[in-house]
Amino acid sequence: MKPSHNRWWERPNRVLLINLREGDEPRIDARALVRDAQSFAATAFCINGGGIVAFYQTTIPGHRLSSGLNGRDLLAEVIPLAHEAGLRVLARIDPSCAPKALAAEHPEWFSRDREGRFCEVSDHYVTCPNAGYYHERMVEIASEILSRYDADGIWNNQGKFAAWDTGPCHCDTCQRLFRHDASCGLPREENWQDPAWRKYNEWRYRRIVQWVKRMHEAIHAAKPEAVFISAIQLIESLETIRPGGWDIDYWVDHQDVLTFECQRRNTAPWWPGIQAKYLSSLAPQKPRWMTASYFYPWWRLHASPAEENRPWIAQQFANGVCTWLHINGGYSELFDRRGLAPMREVLARHARWEQYFDGAASDARVALVFSRHTQDNYGADKPHARYLDYLRGWYCALQEAHIPFDVISDKLLTGERLQRYRALVISNLACVSDESVRVLDDFVAAGGALIASYEAGFRDLDGERRTPPAFAPMLGGAYEGHRDNLKSSYAKLEDRADPLLAGLGDTDLIPNEGALVEFRPASGSSVPLTLIPPVIAHSGATISIPEYSAIKETTAIPVAVRTHHGHGRVVYFPNQMECLYYRYGFRDLGLVLGNAVRYALGDAHHVEVAAPDFVDLSLMRQGERRLVHLINLPVDKPLDTGWRHPGRNLVPVTGIEVTLRIEGGQRVREVRAATSEQQLTFIQEGDWARVRAPRLEDHEIMVFEID
């Protein structure tokens, strides 16, 4: 394979994020630090530069020196030694807060609460992203680092509104800019029914991108070959993302490497996967990196289990994303070192597997669409219950059905981007633009497939209700009403031969709950599932009395609809099936969702994996080579649904069978397991090649070499 990169950051990288604390400096030996980075097979590392406090000898007035330097200059000591060792160095900056003393000289640089008071954190004041500290002082700091030292780039942390959970900014600068941009005053309270609040929410995203753009331009002016990377997240940690104004879609042109943070542990173990898939589809021509923390976020000196971190990092690599390993407090006298050796082993393996990373791209034919506008303007004050749990349910269903898929942004729906897909899952995509509706209509009419649910297309991007809903012409039916409080209801199997019901076995019904849109399908549509109303003994009951838990009525109200539009297929679930699947894990619902995607794919289905449901996979293309990544997710007791308990047990899996379609009359030359590089016995019958994988510990790649 020819390398796909010209510049260092475009090649596969393994990066350490070495977060120093003020006072660590006396324990730092520059040569030892570089040797330590090399021991992780790292190609680069990031070390503190400035912002909150300077870890170098700054000449900028008011930029406070770290009290632990005692005359030293860490950047001057470390960067030359790293370059001698062939390592790149990024300097970390943080614009989120500054010394209180600076507020006497520049009070306009700082954030204010509703009463006009400064916002204090750790004896500092939080700064405003619209004001001069961000747009002037941080430019000075980054330029000083790049001009005085030979740093290879800048990594930004916490560039956002409401830093460190301090709430919206009401400073004079924000009030003036918002009135100019939105033609109304800054709202004082969160109220998603108020158009002014929705304007303010969108305004925060737009204002942060102005700062990201400003920094990108300034950094390249100071050193053209330097890279600028800024922290951001997707879906999880929403309490940080939304008030902070973080939307990476708006940043693509102003980031040299697209980068997500991925450090929270109070979430599903596939969070790295959903973020990596999104990064890889957002701008395929750009490199992608993602942080993984060595520690638990609230216990920064305590190592997370290697059994959790291994698949956490594997998901990043398997979906085309390079890993940053974040170590904080490593120079403390008291530290948990148990995870260091396993992480060295993982990154060393990634170094050996670099040949399977460079130039590899997803070969998925299915895409799950994410909408930040739906998350905000429809999800409102309950974004998880109203939208994100739907995405999580689909992620679980696709992963457990072993169907390769991407995660893409609704802002980037174009005919050109959708050419590579056969099926799109738009779930409860409530907020949708007219242009996206047109693109999706054309996609299905030309032979693609669309799977939607519940209130998909019921709102415009600003959250205002559409009449009729946007996808009514594609579905060809009529929306006739809405039912709520369907706890203890069911879906009746109307046609056991329907492809959506394959594998359900000897049952007449499957569970249903929540709300449902009453939809009357057009003639010619198939309705494999219909609503059985709640089975309860009396009004208001939370559970029926056993003696009276009888089904007294059924209905013709659809719970699933299959239809056609042009040359394509459409599946619509008028209920909240995927949300219910995420919350309760009903196996039958996962089967129906997976079946819907297989039906939508039709003859485009091109890989089958027989493995337990906790084995994740991705399918990557690298020229004529195909790479099937198998990832063993950690198994443990569930907590608050959705596999939210930290994983502690990797159960080795044997006997996994991988069957790959080989298109265009090609032949498989050989199949290898990347861990051992040993050739495996395989069978090719027609267009399908089948192989049995060796023992899966945490991560394996089945390498198909095709002639």
Return the domain boundaries, the chain: 8-95+129-163+216-361, 366-604, 607-706
Element (H, E) at 349: helix 340-352
- In 3D, which of 362, 251, 248 has the Cα closest to residue 626? 362
The tokens for 124 are 């500092």
**Residue 232 tokens, joined:** 């951001």
pLDDT of the residue at 639: 43
Q: What pLDDT shows up at residue 4? A: 53
**pLDDT for 1:** 46
CA distances from 340 to 28, 32, 294, 295 (A): 18, 16, 8, 11
Per-residue model confidence as pLDDT tens digits over 570-616: 999 999 999 999 999 999 999 999 999 999 999 999 999 999 999 99
355 by DSSP, 3-state: which? helix
420 and 365 in contact (C-beta within 8 Å)?
yes
CATH 3.30.70.2190 fits 366-604, yes or no: no
Q: Which of 160, 94, 101, 102 is nearest to 128 (CA)?
A: 160
Q: Cα–Cα–Cα angle for 107, 110, 114, nearest 5°? A: 105
**CA distance linking residue 694 with residue 680, whole number of Å:** 9
pLDDT at 297: 76
Residue-level length of the chain: 707
| Order of strands across the sheet that contains 668-673 | 361-362, 615-622, 625-632, 699-706, 668-673, 678-680
Rounded to the nearest 5°, which phi and psi values hold at 363?
Answer: -115, 25
76, 385 contact by CB (below 8 A): no
Q: How far is CA 185 from the centre of its chain?
A: 34
> Which among 342, 453, 353 has a CA at the least distance from the CA of 393?
453
Q: 3.30.465.10, 3.20.20.80, 3.90.226.10, 3.40.50.1220: which CATH number matches 8-95+129-163+216-361?
A: 3.20.20.80
The CA distance from 456 to 374, in Å, is: 10
Q: Where are the beta strands (DSSP E) in 67-106?
A: 88-93, 97-99
Kindly list the averaged pLDDT for each block of 10 residues, start to end, along the chain of length 707: 72 94 94 96 97 96 95 97 98 96 97 97 97 98 96 96 95 98 95 96 98 98 96 90 97 97 82 96 95 86 90 97 92 91 97 96 98 98 97 96 98 96 98 98 98 98 96 95 94 97 97 97 97 80 74 96 98 98 94 98 96 96 97 70 62 96 92 97 96 97 97
Contact residues for 649 (Cβ-Cβ < 8 A; gap 6+): 307, 634, 635, 636
Q: Quote the Cα angle for 229-319-612, to 5°.
A: 140
pLDDT score of 269: 83
Using DSSP bridges, classify how beta strands 668-673 and 699-706 pair: parallel, antiparallel or unpaired: antiparallel
Per the CB < 8 A criterion, the answer to whether 543 and 531 are in contact is: no
Fold of 607-706: Immunoglobulin-like (2.60.40)
Euclidean distance between CA atoms 450 and 526, whole angstroms: 15
Residue 545 has what pLDDT? 76
Six token digits for residue 411:
């802002």
Domain 8-95+129-163+216-361 and domain 607-706 have a common topology: no
Amino acid identity of 294?
Answer: Y
In terms of Cβ atoms closer than 10 Å to its own Cβ (0-12, 13-18, 19+), residue 310 is: buried
β strands within 43-117, DSSP E: 44-50, 88-93, 97-99
Q: Phi and psi of 571, rounded to 5°?
A: -120, 130
pLDDT at position 640: 46
User: In one letter, which amino acid is 43?
Assistant: T
Q: What is the pLDDT of residue 706?
A: 96
The model carries a pTM of 0.96
Identity of the residue numbered 485: N
8-state DSSP, 304: P
Secondary structure of 461-482 in the HEC alphabet?
CCCCECCCCCCHHHHCCEEEEE
Structure tokens at 654: 């044997």
